[in-house]
């Protein structure tokens, strides 16, 4: 009998100068939370790579980590907030209600290590954060036939070769496009929600989601009239604008989310302050 396929990694690389803190984010993590903060970050990485490219986060997971590392749960929440504001991790809320932890950097590392498997590796499109250019050809997306949350067998036996090729196509705006079965036309509102969740997932202050989603639909739809001019934005422009604001707060050393904009405020007309326009702004 052949050995079952394993999507998780047995080990992951760690830079030998990690504790010299060439990454200022890690240096600030150690400065604020000392060795316990570093150990928690390394523990999360180990768990994510052991599972593959993400872990599910819930109360039991937090309790297990607190017990394994002898940490207080309140301390863990503080470190997670820090890691999110520094873009060291991303927390995404799925349609199923589950919360997962991952990051683009960890997914790149997982993808690099997965090359040695010499086979297709199936990932969930609502979790995979890398754009088309950064995604290797052996990375394939699973298809969900219904809303029950059940995935196809990762072996891909129920998929035709043509459908595998189609589901690997990514939107030009570099926000993933969740694949659909050929006999089911894409639902525009459903896709808008999925694209929005990617952006919402990277923003650490979870306040004003409903208003933010309304603004998001306006930006990518007909646009907004501001100062006598109509501005229509792409998913990628919005994503990069939010990332720019996050970096601005990080560079200012602003760890207290109280002083961050609520997400609906940022997604309003103030978003234009952080948008990079390639032309006249339309």
pLDDT 10s digits, 161-192: 444 444 344 333 444 444 434 444 445 677 88
- Of 123-132, 171-180, 272-281, give the lowest mean pLDDT range: 171-180
CATH of the domain at 88: 1.10.10
Residues 29-64: tens digit of each pLDDT: 999 999 999 999 999 999 999 999 999 999 999 999
Note whether residue 226 is domain-resident: yes
Q: In this structure, is residue 136 part of a structural domain?
A: no
Domain assignment present for 183? no
Three-class SS state of 221 = coil
Count the domains in the chain. 2
Q: Is residue 232 part of a domain?
A: yes
Distances in Å between the alpha carbon of 210 and those of 255, 261, 262?
24, 15, 11
φ, ψ for residue 212, nearest 5 deg? -65, -40
Q: Is the pLDDT of residue 208 over 60?
A: yes
**CA 255 – CA 233 distance, rounded (Å):** 29
254, pLDDT greater than 70: yes
> Could you tell me if residue 163 is inside a domain?
no
Predicted TM-score of the model (pTM): 0.54
Instruction: Establish if 79 belongs to a structural domain.
Output: yes
Share of the chain above pLDDT 70, in %: 80
Average pLDDT on 137-145 reads 79
Structure-block tokens of residue 133: 């250019």
Q: Which of 84, 103, 122 corresponds to the end of one domain?
A: 103
Helix (H) or strand (E) holding 239: helix 235-251
List the domain range (segments joined by +) for residue 216: 205-274
Boundary (domain end) residue, out of 68, 103, 138: 103
Q: How far is CA 207 from the centre of its chain?
A: 18
Q: Report if residue 141 sits inside a domain.
A: no
Q: Final residue of a domain: which of 46, 72, 103? A: 103
State residue 29's pLDDT score: 94
* Dist CA 56 CA 77 (whole Å): 15
Phi, psi angle pair for 102, to nearest 5° = -160, -165
The reply to whether 42 falls in a domain is yes
């Amino acid at each position: 009998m052949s050995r079952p396929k394993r999507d998780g990694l047995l080990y992951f690389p760690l830079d030998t100068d990690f504790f010299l803190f060439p990454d200022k984010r890690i240096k600030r993590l150690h400065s604020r939370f000392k060795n316990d903060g570093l150990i928690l970050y390394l523990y999360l990485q180990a768990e994510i790579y052991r599972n593959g490219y993400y872990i599910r986060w819930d109360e039991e997971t937090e309790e297990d980590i607190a017990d394994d590392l002898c940490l207080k749960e309140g301390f863990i929440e503080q470190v997670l907030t820090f890691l999110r504001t520094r873009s060291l991790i991303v927390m995404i809320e799925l349609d199923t209600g589950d919360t997962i932890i991952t990051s683009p950097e960890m997914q790149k590392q997982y993808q690099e290590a997965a090359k040695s498997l010499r086979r297709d590796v199936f990932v969930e499109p609502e979790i995979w954060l890398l754009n088309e250019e950064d995604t290797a050809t052996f990375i394939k997306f699973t298809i969900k036939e219904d809303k029950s949350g059940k995935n196809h067998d990762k072996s891909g036996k129920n998929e035709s070769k043509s459908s595998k090729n189609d589901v690997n196509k990514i939107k030009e705006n570099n926000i993933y496009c969740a694949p659909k079965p050929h006999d089911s036309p894409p639902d525009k509102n459903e896709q808008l929600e999925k694209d929005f969740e990617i952006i919402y997932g990277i923003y650490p202050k979870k306040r004003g989601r409903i208003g933010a989603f309304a603004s998001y639909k306006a930006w990518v739809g007909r646009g907004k009239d501001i100062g006598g001019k109509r501005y229509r934005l792409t998913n990628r422009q919005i994503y990069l604008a939010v990332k720019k604001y996050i970096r601005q707060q990080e560079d200012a050393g602003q760890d207290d989310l109280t002083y961050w904009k609520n997400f609906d405020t940022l997604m309003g007309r103030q978003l234009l302050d952080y948008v990079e326009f390639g032309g006249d702004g339309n």
